[in-house]
């Protein structure tokens, strides 16, 4: 039963990642064709959670500098990854997003 659950979770993560990557690819193409100087573009990726990682530490690394931006980032990570709580575990994978300043 545990194996079936893990397979379902892995399949859900992979489907989500594929969707996010495809969406990010098309968005990046659209942004590149109309990007103005200094525009922030959102990209998606996946990372393996390491010992000591928390949603807050990921928000510090990838979100904006303000506390509210970090809280919103955490809520978005939870929504994207189907997390019911703030708890994450080393060895699991997480879809996340980050920003790149284009045109500079």
E strands, the chain, are: 39-48, 93-102
In percent, how much of the chain has pLDDT > 70?
A: 81
What integer is the mean pLDDT of 93-101? 91
pTM over 0.85: no
DSSP 3-state assignment of 42? strand
All structural domains of the chain with their residue ranges: 2-102
Give the angle 41-76-91 at the CA atoms, nearest 5°. Answer: 100
**Cα 52 from chain centre:** 18
Digit-coded pLDDT (tens) for 21-43: 667 766 665 555 554 556 888 89
Which of the four pLDDT bands, split at 50, 70 and 90, describes residue 84? Answer: very high
What integer is the mean pLDDT of 74-92? 95
pLDDT of 100 reads 87
21-30, 59-68, 88-97: range with lowest mean pLDDT: 21-30
Q: How far apart are CA 43 and CA 47, in angstroms?
A: 13
**Closest to 75 in 3D by CA, of 61, 91, 86, 64:** 86
Predicted confidence (pLDDT) at residue 104 exceeds the cutoff of 80: no
The residues, any chain, with a CB within 8 Å of residue 63's CB and separated by 6 or more, are 69, 70, 72, 73
């Amino acid at each position: 039963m545990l194996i079936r659950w893990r397979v379902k979770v892995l399949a859900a993560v992979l489907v989500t990642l594929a969707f996010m990557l495809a969406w990010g690819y098309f968005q990046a193409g659209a942004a590149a064709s109309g990007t103005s100087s200094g525009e922030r573009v959102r990209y998606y990726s996946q990372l393996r959670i390491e010992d000591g990682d928390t949603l807050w530490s990921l928000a510090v690394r990838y979100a904006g500098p303000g506390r509210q931006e970090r809280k919103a980032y955490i809520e978005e990570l939870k929504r994207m990854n189907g997390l019911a709580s703030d708890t994450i575990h080393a060895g699991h994978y997480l879809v996340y997003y980050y920003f790149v300043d284009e045109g500079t």
